[in-house]
Amino acid sequence: MSGARLAGTALLSVGTLPCLGFGVFGMLASFEVTGAERWTAFAIYATIEVGMLLGLIFVWRWALAPDLVPGACGHCGYQLRGVGGDHCPECGATIDEPR
Ligand SMILES: [Zn+2]
């Protein structure tokens, strides 16, 4: 993982927090509406909320993934130069790409 990638992701997360807050307020406010519109409003806010959360999870998974450098294990990022065998000594993943 790289520091710039982590810093950018942290900044993005902090920027997204107010949006998540507005989404929660939107869901709460949708209960002020009566009739069928209530559930339409709730569904819209809930969809946006879940979408933002899934987006954040996706971005954090990307930010925390090991850097794929040539000659490194594709699973854990361990440098495989000079390592014999077909399994990563660090995580045990099968090495299938040429080194
Ligand atoms: Zn590995």
Per-residue pLDDT of the chain (99 residues; tens, 9 = 90+): 578 888 888 998 998 888 888 888 888 888 888 888 889 989 999 999 999 999 999 999 888 877 667 888 888 888 888 888 889 999 999 887 655
- Residues 59 and 40 grouped into a single domain: yes
Compute, in angstroms, the gap from residue 13 CA to the centroid of ligand 1. Answer: 29
Compute, in angstroms, the gap from residue 94 CA to the centroid of ligand 1. Answer: 8
Q: Which two tokens stand for residue 5?
A: 């990638």
* Residue ranges near ligand 1 (ion) with Cβ within 5 Å: 73, 75-76, 78, 88, 90-91, 93
- Residues 59 and 85 grouped into a single domain: no
- Residues 53 and 87 grouped into a single domain: no
Compute, in angstroms, the gap from residue 88 CA to the centroid of ligand 1. Answer: 5
Gap between the Cα atoms of 53 and 83, Å rounded: 40
The answer to whether 63 touches 55, Cβ cutoff 8 Å, is no
Query: Rounded to 5 degrees, what angle do the CA atoms 89, 90, 94 make?
Result: 60
Total domains present in the chain: 2
- Residues 36 and 73 grouped into a single domain: no
Q: What is the pLDDT of residue 30?
A: 87
Compute, in angstroms, the gap from residue 74 CA to the centroid of ligand 1. Answer: 7
What are the φ/ψ torsions at residue 12 (nearest 5 degrees)? -60, -40
The secondary structure of 32-56 as a DSSP string is GS-THHHHHHHHHHHHHHHHHHHHH
Gap between the Cα atoms of 11 and 60, Å rounded: 11
Compute, in angstroms, the gap from residue 5 CA to the centroid of ligand 1. Answer: 21
pTM for this entry: 0.61
Q: Which two tokens stand for residue 56?
A: 């954040």
- Residues 87 and 59 grouped into a single domain: no
